[in-house]
Amino acid sequence: MWLRIQRLNQQRFVLTAKAVCVHQLHTSSTEPASSSYNGLYPGHIHTTPIQKALLAVGSGVAALRDPYRHDMVAVLGEATGHFALINLRDRMRNDPEGYTILTERPRIRLSTIDVAKMASLPEGSFGREYVRFLEDNHVTPDSRADVKFVDDEELAYVMLRYREVHDLMHTLLGMPTNMLGEVAVKWFEAAQTGLPMCAFGAALGPLRLNARRLQTLVTSLGPWALRNGLRARFVLNIFYERRWEQSLEDLRQELNIEPPPVILSAAKKMST
Amino acid sequence: MFQRRSRGQKYTFWLRDGFRDGESEERIKSYHRPHRRSSMQKSEYTCDHRPRVYKVFENVAQKYDIMNDAMSLGIHRVWKDALLHVMHPQPGAQLLDVAGGTGDIAFRFLEYIRLQEERQKRRAARSSQTPSWQDISNNYSTEDESRESRAVVCDINKEMLKVGKQKADSLGVSAGLSWVVGDAEELPFDDDQFDIYTIAFGIRNVTHIDQALQEALRVLKPGGRFMCLEFSKVNNPILSSIYDAYSFQMIPVIGEVIAGDWKSYQYLVESIRKFPNQEEFKGMIEDAGFYCVKYYNLTGGVVALHSGFKL
């Protein structure tokens, strides 16, 4: 009887494998935005709790060894962030502007934002500073990894929004994308969102800093980031796409964020 | 283009250390897709897997060897060594390694032959401890084998061959080694060319396995040996459930973490499950026209080594 159960299990595996393979054959050939995909949203991959745990451990190790592997940081966030994402979604729902974001689902990609128009905005405006940030640091909003391992469609959007808003955080806080700037932003985000991935990044990121930068972090940048993270208005509740013309100082005041204590320059970025 | 000429015409060997980029580009252009996976064309249900398989291996080529070590916990080296031991090639043998990608089998083959030659030289030296001057001068003149052993690595995927060539360069191996782009279902070689044909962990990616077997029969010399390493069926139920759990839970995770590619490794695990078991595959090899077909189970059936002769 035990053998029969084993065989049934094997058949189940084979059938599931075949069924998934059929799905894969059909879905691998379609655009990610199309309606026929295997999962709750385009790019979704079903994972068991064991797989999520393994992913968390593996991606954590990989991200530590090579901090420039953004996809591993993303996977770590998705595998560990379930409860934090629920909390974030509820906070968005309870705020009118956040609720608008959840219903309208804006995306920040080169195809949805008009970079030329933003570059022509007056100096000191949020849109202009954002474009300056993109140019100085040689980054593009299109390089964010897709969400794959979150098992709820709305939570996946919250994760995606967090990821896309990350660059705007850099602009608001005036931090470049070098290691020190990233760690400072991570401290801010950890205090704001409570995502475990931010907490890990905040705790383990400083290990990769040299002594001088570590000192800057510990004495001025770090406490500033933490303080502002705790007292600022919730950053995911801001509809940034409607605020490009707003002045950066004005936005900072509205969000209760102090300007940075140290001006960091966008130093030569390591080529990835 | 790799077109088969008539049997009578002598086929020029594509023996170069590189491939003729002009022709191979054309051939591969039809399979080459831009990097975004989403732009792949729709395939039929009972489809030709080639575009998909090409994409999978193009994505994973750089990390292929690391992934092999991680997924099999290093055991794949044992399997490949076992293949060589069963093969037991002698100096002068001509090997064709199909789907040989990064060259693991070819390197092992050349190393094995080199050790065999050394052993033979030592034996010859032992038997003639005090050679006369005549014998010594005879030895110098017969140092070149009338037939040097040669390994040809054939793969449909240019990226994999590129990685293999880099490995060869870093190991300093170049003599007797060639890299050819070709499709296992339509090999760019003439009939009766090789002593040994190997395909290690490649035949499950071929859409028409019977065609690949027929091609193998064609390019082998009479007396030549066909050898195939492939994932197969585990009969022991305990080992089978551990193996299934490991395959479905761990391997896509390892693929995501190391290579950043979950889907390719999920495809890999599924293609293993769809492959025929040991007896069925043995039947297919016999149907293609091979004799004395037998198989050896390695690691409890996780991998099977099939062998047949062209007589």
Task: Identify the closest residue of chain A to B238 by CA–CA distance.
Answer: A6
CB atoms A24 and B267 under 8 Å: yes
Binding residues of B: 102, 155, 183-184
Of A29, A55, A69, which is closest to B42 when you measure between CB atoms? A29
Query: Which pTM value belongs to this model?
Result: 0.73
Residue B168 to residue B103: CA distance in whole angstroms: 8
Query: What's at A110, amino acid-wise?
Result: L
Q: Tell me the shortest Cα–Cα distance from A32 to chain B, in angstroms.
A: 6
Least confident interval from A44-58, A159-173, A190-204, B8-22: B8-22
The tens place of each residue's pLDDT in chain B, 311 residues long, gives 444 444 444 333 333 333 343 334 434 333 333 444 433 333 334 456 777 777 777 777 888 888 999 999 999 999 999 999 999 999 999 999 999 889 999 999 999 999 999 998 888 888 777 777 877 777 676 655 556 899 999 999 999 999 999 999 999 988 889 999 999 999 999 999 999 999 999 999 899 999 999 999 999 999 999 999 999 999 999 999 999 999 999 999 999 999 888 988 898 899 899 999 999 999 999 999 999 999 999 999 999 999 999 99
Structural tokens at position A75: 């996977």
Confidence (pLDDT) at B99: 93
Question: What local confidence, expressed as pLDDT, does residue B300 receive?
Answer: 92
Q: A50 and B249 in contact by Cβ < 8 A?
A: yes
Q: Which of A15, A161, A20, A24 is nearest to A91 (CA)?
A: A161
Q: Distance between the two ends of chain A, CA-based, in angstroms?
A: 56
Q: Does residue A138 come out as left (phi exceeding 0), alpha (psi in the -120 to 50 range) or beta?
A: left
Rounded to a whole number, what is the distance in Å from the CA of B205 to chain A's nearest CA? Answer: 14
| Six-digit token string for B251 | 């391997």
Q: CB distance A17–B42 less than 8 Å? A: no
Task: Give A-chain residues touching B207 at CB under 8 angstroms.
Answer: none
ipTM above 0.85, yes or no: no
- Pair type for strands B291-298 and B303-309: antiparallel
Half-sphere exposure of A272 (CA within 13 A, CB side): 12
- Put simply, the answer to whether A25 touches B40 (Cβ < 8 Å) is no
Contact flag A13-B43 (C-beta cutoff 8 Å): no
Of A26, A28, A55, the CB nearest to B253: A55
- Per residue in A56-69, pLDDT (tens digit) is 999 999 988 887 88
Give, to the nearest 10 degrees, the angle between helix B50-60 and helix B158-171.
Answer: 30
Assess contact for A30 and A36: CB atoms under 8 A: yes
For residue B155 the two structure tokens come to 């793969």
Contact B256 A21 (CB under 8 A): no
Contact (CB<8Å) B273/A62: no
Q: Letter for the amino acid at B59?
A: N
From A179's Cα to the closest Cα of chain B, the distance in A is 22
Say if the Cβ atoms of A75 and B42 lie within 8 Å: no
Instruction: Find chain A residues with C-beta within 8 A of B241's C-beta.
Output: 6, 9
Name, in order, each residue with C-beta under 8 angstroms of B71's C-beta and a sequence gap of 6 or more: B250, B251, B254, B265
The whole-number average pLDDT for the span A156-172 is 91
Report yes or no: A131 and A20 within 8 Å, Cβ to Cβ: no
The residues of A whose Cβ lies within 8 A of any Cβ of B are: 2-3, 6, 9-10, 13-14, 17-18, 20-22, 24-26, 28-32, 45, 48, 50-51, 54-55, 58-59, 61-62, 69, 71-72, 75, 148
User: Whole-angstrom Cα distance, residue A135 to residue A120?
Assistant: 14
Chain centroid, CA A119 distance in Å:
24
Q: Hey, are the CB atoms on A17 and B269 less than 8 Å from each other?
A: yes
CA dist B220 and B7 (Å) reads 14
- Shortest Cα–Cα distance, A190 to chain B (Å): 23
The string of DSSP codes covering chain A is: -HHHHHHHHHHHHHHHHHHHHHHHHHHTTS-TTSS--SSSSTT-----HHHHHHHHHHHHHHHHH-TT-HHHHHHHHHHH-HHHHHHHHHHHHTSHHHHHHHHH----STTTS-HHHHHTSPTTBHHHHHHHHHHHHT--GGGPPPP-S-SSHHHHHHHHHHHHHHHHHHHHHT--SSHHHHHHHHHHHHHHH--HHHHHHHHHGGGGS-HHHHHHIIIIIHHHHHHHHHHSPPGGG--GGG-TTSBHHHHHHHHT-PPPSS----PPPPP-
Q: DSSP string of B197-218?
A: EEEES-GGG-S-HHHHHHHHHH
Nearest to B257 among A14, A28, A62 (CB): A62
Instruction: Specify the pLDDT at position A91.
Output: 93
The binding site of B for S-adenosyl-L-methionine comprises 102, 155, 183-184
Nearest to A17 among B241, B262, B273 (CB): B273
CB B225 within 8 A of CB B307: yes
